[in-house]
Every structure is written in structure tokens, then in C-alpha cells.
Structure 1
Amino acid sequence: MIVATGAVWAVTAVPAAAAESDLPEYLMKVRASQMWKVADGTGITVAVVDSGVKDLPGLEGRVLPGVSFMEPPVSRPDEKYPPHDDFQGHGTTMTAAIVGDGSGGGPRGLAPGAKVMPIRTSIGTPMAFGAIGEAAKGVRYAADNGAKIINLSIGGWWSLDKMKPAVEYAQSKGALVFVGMGNEGDGNKSTNPIANLPGVLGVGAVDLTGEPLPSSSYGPSTDLASFGGKVPVRCKENTAWCVQDGGTSYATSLASASAALVWSAHPDWTANQVARVLIQTAGAPLDGSKRNDWIGYGIARPSKVLLDHQGDPGAPDGDPLAAPAPVQTQAPSAAPAAAAPDRAEPAAAESGLSRKWPALGAAVAVTLGLGITVILKRLRR
């Protein structure tokens, strides 16, 4: 058992309305149906840089044309890979988590009024060795084509020589970037290097009790957390929905959707201001600490902004990660401070999307998270 590491989803318990009866518990905990009466993500485009998207009934009208940066094999130079296709299903799952309408067995998205811009890369294919360059192109494309939020539920063993300038370019265009911490269940050496880049929000995964998933990687670059437990994910070669752990990939999509809700309600805010209020209103660690390496400043709770009118957006140009505003904390736990999660206790029934990064083909998966030197994101402590 992890002690005093998790966080409370919501301070105020609100009885479920009749319209919420078909919502999954994690959406009920963040008071999704009440939030949607205030803002549902309308007007906000979230770029999902991933494996593409499969056109499904639950996504109709919610997905933009997008673009594919997949490089064809040398043996088939004329091969085309449209963005509205997905070999693996990972990108489709992330898209549905953000904007899905719940039909066809898929999930209800947290920001159903938003639009997803699918940006397809070689993630999840034998050509994944080129995914980092493709993803960097995708980040630039997203920034140039109206994406306010860039969702990177991806990671791997790669250099940041292309991704770092791409992220900086997107930030200069006003975009907010979220990235999953990783699903290796380890700290620092296995965390996603993209999360170390300045201004990028690294996202960890928790279960419904607010405890970190054992598979969720952790470290100083963890900024927020969201739900990543048993969720509908694409499976069986992207032909069906199965309930599995979605890990930090799914959590990142929910964090991106949380930002879309806040930004939809406050379209005049900047990326820094949206990030700041999410940090301020996050469900902080139960031991009373300001942050920890497993859930960062806490679980994202956009309802605290939209329904309870909490959070001060502050200066439009100030980086909230460089100098975070005071966060709202829960009462300190009587339990001792948390130790690192027991790595000998694996998460149950995990596969595919939960334990392995989709960015990697089998040939390079064993080197995930190793041998990368990156710039520290901020001097927070």
C-alpha cells in the first residue's frame, strides 16, 4: 500500500444527477455533467500527436482532418498513411478520452465540445524509430494550425534535438503541451524526457482512490496527475474496445481535456494562466506537501475552476512551473510521508497501452527511457 501519496479528487461531494448515471466513476468524481453546463471544450482544438485516429461513430463531428507525418518504407516509397487511420488504436483511444460521445462501447470524453486534430506518426509500428522526428514535425504543425493544446501520450528512447525546438516553437505560438510520464513504474531513469522540457506539463496516473498506479513512472518532472485505471481502450488490432489500464497515456488525455474545459470558459487566458489554475486547484498530496514525484501538484480538477470559481490565473507571461503559485492543499495525513511505490507489486491485468510505450517497435522497446541527457525543467526545490 502506498501511504499518503495520493490525493482527493474533489473537496465537495455532489450527488450524482440522473444525467450522470451512465458516466464512468472518474467523470462523476470531477463533476463532468455539471461542468459541461458551464463549458464543454467548445472553441478549443487539442492536437493528439500519436498513431492516428480511426473514424468511429463515437467520434463523428469531433475530429478535424489532421495530417500524417508517417514516413513510408524504403521499399514502398509511394505508400500513403492518412491521419484518419490507426494501425494500433492508441491514438484513437486518446482521441475518444478527450471528445468521445460514449457510443459504440467507447468512452465518454471529458471535453466533448472540443475538437481533436489527429497527427499521425509511426508510433506503434516497426517504423517507430523515426517517430520522434515525425512527432516534432507534428508539434510544429499543430502550433501553426490552431491547436491550443498539444497532447503527447508518447515517449521513448530518443534524442530531444528535434523535439525540444519544436516544443519551444509551439509554446511561442501560445500552445500548452502535456506529456505522459511513462508506464515503466520507475522514477527518473524511466520518465519521459519530454517532461523535463521547460513549460511542459508532465502527467502521472492515479486510480479512483487517488493513489498512483504502480505502473506510473514518477520523478521531479511530474506536475499533475489524472485517472489512468481501468478504461475503454482500443484492442484486438483496433477492432474493438476492451477495459484495461490506460496508464499515463490516458491520464495525459484527461489532463489535456481538463485544460480544454478551462480554456473554453476563459478563452482570453494564455497557456500559462490555464496551467497555473490547474496547478492551484489540483487535489494536492494527502500528507500536506506542496507536491511529490508521483502526482506532482495533484490530480487535475477543472471543476474547482469552472464550478467553484477557484484559482488565480495571474500573469499571462509567467511560467507557473518556474514559480508556481500556492496550491490548495488537503489536510495533512496522520500517516508518515510516502515511500516510493513497491516495484515488486505489478499492476493487475496490464497490457499494451499500460506497460509499454506505444512509440516503440519491438526492436527498440528494451531501451526505453535509458541513456538520455536532458535539460532540467525548472529549479522548483
Structure 2
Amino acid sequence: MIVAAWTVCAGTVMPAAADTDPRGYLTKMKAQEMWKVADGTGITVAVIDSGVKDIPGLEGRVLPGMSFMEPPFERPDVSYPPHEDFVGHGTTMTAGIVGDGSAGGPRGLAPGAKVLPIRTSVGTPMAFAVASEAAKGIRYAADNGAKVINLSIGMTQDWPMGKIKPAVEYAQSKGVLIFAAMGNEGEGNNWTNVIAALPGVLGVGAVDEDGQVMPFSSHGPDTDLSAPGGQVLNRCNGNKDWCVGDGGTSYATSLASASAALVWSAHPDWTANQVARVLIQTAGGPVDGAKRSDWVGYGAVRPRKVLLDHEGDPGVPDADPLASPAPAKAPTPSAEQTAAAPRRVESADAESGLSWQWPALGAVVALSLGITVLVKRRRR
């Protein structure tokens, strides 16, 4: 099954003008203070997704990019530009990283960064081609200046890994840091994204702006970090408006990617391993004192600890921090993060129409062999 690791709770979506502040996580993360130190300038984040629509708030922040979107069988002559988006998913991720906050949209966590849009068939009847398209996109990103690759798309079976895994290894050999959404099946089958199981890829779970675990967040040994994925601004109504709803692990992944851009912008001489290491070291660890948990990994990303408090030891440049026996400095418990098992949604909520399943945005490839999740082998 190839899907977008994204969901909007239909029961809670509301106009962006509602009283709910969907950008409260920026205040919690002390974004304004961080931007005085670094805002992502000099860092390119590749968003491999459904494309990016040219909308107010993204002007001058999105590079030309590339589309690997397959044309429909009956129209092989059709081409799709990277600066268009049928479903709004890639546009949402891009705004969460670099948006300027205008026209009702979100202010990105790394507004000085650039996004390299790479369009795939997510959200179309050609979605079965996403694995091949994403693999090409990963290589393109690595060859065209991306320091960070954001994969807020998911695959729940391991057969596409024959294409994805070599592309990931190629990008890593070029010094690129890759984040992948864990998925939004935490209350269902707990299907997890097999891309997050690949060595060296950072799997991202979702918490709310207070650091509480989101029950829908898929979880397991491949969860490495977490970030806000609750009530945020999403593109809705056919990618025509902004609405408030749960952004899921997709949005959380965009914030993790933006956090890496902030840290890398402040320390441009660091390697991908060093950026990953300090993000792990400074994450808001489980309140029970555990080093990590399957729900939040090493904890919620806190780039302010690096930029404002000067915490984190980047360590040696070539050692993968996920392969090390332990981070150089164990994450400290924080009121910003709890790893306690999330409260189960009561049956009354389920009856109201809440669903945290990954939406199949277009054709779904389902194999009768079932779902096989790769065991994560840390690279190097």
C-alpha cells in the first residue's frame, strides 16, 4: 500500500479564521528567538510529495524542482509541473517548513530555508508508481543541492524497497539527512512506514504542541524522533483554502526536517550525522527517564536547545548516531514531552467519525501477502 502519511480529522476541520491557534507550537518551540540565531538560510529541503502549488506565502521560497509524476496510460504525452498539487499535501508540508504566514497560511519553522519540490503521483490514480518516482526523486534531490529530504509519504509493504533503499543509500553517501513519517495507524493496525525502517533514516512520530503523544501516531522500534502533528493548518477544499485539522506524522516530519535546517543553518560545517546526533541528544526525552520509547523515539525535537542553549555534542562526523550504543548525552526528561501511553479514544469519539487511518489518495496497491515491516538495521 502506497499512501500519503497524512490525515485530517473530518470532525474537527474548521476555517483557518477560527479561534483555535494552529501555530501555537512555534511559541512553544521559541521560534522567534531561534530565528535571531538561524532561520534555515543556506539549507535546501527536498519535499518529495504531491507537488507544491504556487500560493501566497511561498513566493521566493520554493525552487523550480522536478516532477517524476507518471502520465496516465491513455495520455502518455501529458506532463505535470512540480509547481502544481492536486491534493494539497505537498503544499502543506512546504508551508510548514518555509511559509511566511501570510494569506491565512502557516509560518514555517525554517522560513529562511528553500524547498526543492519533487512531485510524485501521490493522490492520483497513478499512485502505484510512487515508489519508482520517489526513488528517482531521492537521487535528484541528492544531486541538486538538498541537505535534507522530507518524506511525508509512506509505504506499508517492503516490496518497493528494491527501488527506494538504493536511492536512500545514494543520498546518504552524498551527505543528505532523510526524515520519514511513521504513519497514522497507531489506533488501527499500527502499520508503520517501511522507509523509516531503512538504516540511517529518521522515523518521525506525532505529538501535540504540549508534547503529549497523539494516539493515531504509528509507533515501533523505527521511531527516532517526534514533533507536533496535532491541530495545524492544512490545505483543504481541493487545495483552495487553509483549514485547521490534525496534520499527523506527515506534518510532524516537516517540522523535524525544518528543525534540521535550523541547526544546519547555524552550523553549516556539520555533517548529516552530526546534525542528527544533536537533534537526538537534545530531544525532549520521555518523562519516565527512559532513553527512548516506541511512541516518540528519543523525544520531541527541540532545536532551541542547540541554537539558544548551546547544548548537544556533534561528535565525530562519520559515525551514524543511530548505530551508536547510546547518544553522547542522554536526553533529559522534559515537561514538553511525555512518553506515557496515550489515552485511548473512547467509543463515543469513534462513533463521531474520527479516523486516523492513512488515506489512500488515489489507487492503492494491496498485496495478499500481507504487510512485512523491515527490521531496522542502522547503517555504518
- Deviations along 1:242-282, one digit per CA (max 9) or x if unpaired, are 10100000000000000000000000000000000000000
Question: Counterpart of 1:34?
Answer: 33
| Alignment of structure 1 residues 294-305 onto 2, 5 Å | 294-305=295-306
Distance of 2:256 and 2:312 partners within structure 1: 16
SS, match of residue 204 in structure 2: strand
Distance of 1:96 and 1:369 partners within structure 2: 38
Question: Counterpart of 1:321?
Answer: 322
| Alignment of structure 1 residues 108-187 onto 2, 5 Å | 108-158=107-157, 159=159, 160-186=161-187
Deviation at 1:125, TM superposition (A): 1.1
Aligned partner (choices 352, 358, 371) of residue 356 of structure 1: 358
Deviation at 1:126, TM superposition (A): 1.3
Distance of 2:65 and 2:330 partners within structure 1: 36
RMSD: 2.4
Distance of 2:341 and 2:245 partners within structure 1: 26
Taking structure 1 as the reference length, what is the TM-score of the superposition?
0.87
Aligned residue identity for 2:331: Q
Distance of 2:342 and 2:107 partners within structure 1: 33
- Deviations along 1:189-233, one digit per CA (max 9) or x if unpaired, are 511001111100000000122111111000000000000011110
Question: Counterpart of 1:371?
Answer: 371
SS, match of residue 304 in structure 1: helix
Q: Is the 8 A contact 2:212 2:342 kept in 1?
A: no
- Deviations along 1:79-134, one digit per CA (max 9) or x if unpaired, are 01000000000000000000000111110000000000000000111110110110
Distance of 1:155 and 1:62 partners within structure 2: 25
Question: Counterpart of 2:246?
Answer: 245
- Alpha carbons of 1:242 and 1:350: their partners in 2 closer, same or farther (altered >3 Å)? farther
SS, match of residue 139 in structure 1: helix
Deviation at 1:25, TM superposition (A): 1.3
Distance of 2:340 and 2:303 partners within structure 1: 26
Distance of 2:353 and 2:49 partners within structure 1: 24
- Alpha carbons of 1:368 and 1:309: their partners in 2 closer, same or farther (altered >3 Å)? farther
Sequence identity of aligned pairs in percent? Answer: 68
Question: Counterpart of 1:280?
Answer: 281
- Alpha carbons of 1:117 and 1:349: their partners in 2 closer, same or farther (altered >3 Å)? farther
- Alpha carbons of 1:61 and 1:339: their partners in 2 closer, same or farther (altered >3 Å)? closer
321-330 or 260-269, which moves further after superposition? 321-330
| Alignment of structure 1 residues 199-348 onto 2, 5 Å | 199-323=200-324, 324-325=326-327, 326-330=329-333, 338-339=340-341, 342=344
Deviation at 1:338, TM superposition (A): 3.8
Deviation at 1:357, TM superposition (A): 4.6
Question: Counterpart of 2:196?
Answer: 195
Question: Counterpart of 2:6?
Answer: none
Taking structure 2 as the reference length, what is the TM-score of the superposition?
0.87
Distance of 1:328 and 1:189 partners within structure 2: 26
- Alpha carbons of 1:183 and 1:237: their partners in 2 closer, same or farther (altered >3 Å)? same
Structure 2, unmatched stretches of 5+, are 1-20
Distance of 1:303 and 1:368 partners within structure 2: 46
Q: Is the 8 A contact 1:139 1:167 kept in 2?
A: yes
Q: Is the 8 A contact 2:22 2:231 kept in 1?
A: no
Distance of 2:290 and 2:51 partners within structure 1: 39
Distance of 1:319 and 1:121 partners within structure 2: 29
SS, match of residue 162 in structure 2: coil
Structure 1, unmatched stretches of 5+, are 1-21
186-195 or 263-272, which moves further after superposition? 186-195
Q: Is the 8 A contact 1:148 1:174 kept in 2?
A: yes
Distance of 2:219 and 2:226 partners within structure 1: 10
Deviation at 1:367, TM superposition (A): 6.9
Q: Is the 8 A contact 1:53 1:95 kept in 2?
A: yes
Distance of 1:204 and 1:369 partners within structure 2: 26
Deviation at 1:46, TM superposition (A): 0.0
- Deviations along 1:328-368, one digit per CA (max 9) or x if unpaired, are 21279xx9x844753666688757xx64256x52544x779
- Alpha carbons of 1:331 and 1:54: their partners in 2 closer, same or farther (altered >3 Å)? closer
Question: Counterpart of 1:48?
Answer: 47
Q: Is the 8 A contact 1:245 1:350 kept in 2?
A: no
Deviation at 1:369, TM superposition (A): 12
- Alpha carbons of 1:69 and 1:108: their partners in 2 closer, same or farther (altered >3 Å)? same
Distance of 1:305 and 1:100 partners within structure 2: 22
Q: Is the 8 A contact 1:187 1:219 kept in 2?
A: no
Question: Counterpart of 1:57?
Answer: 56
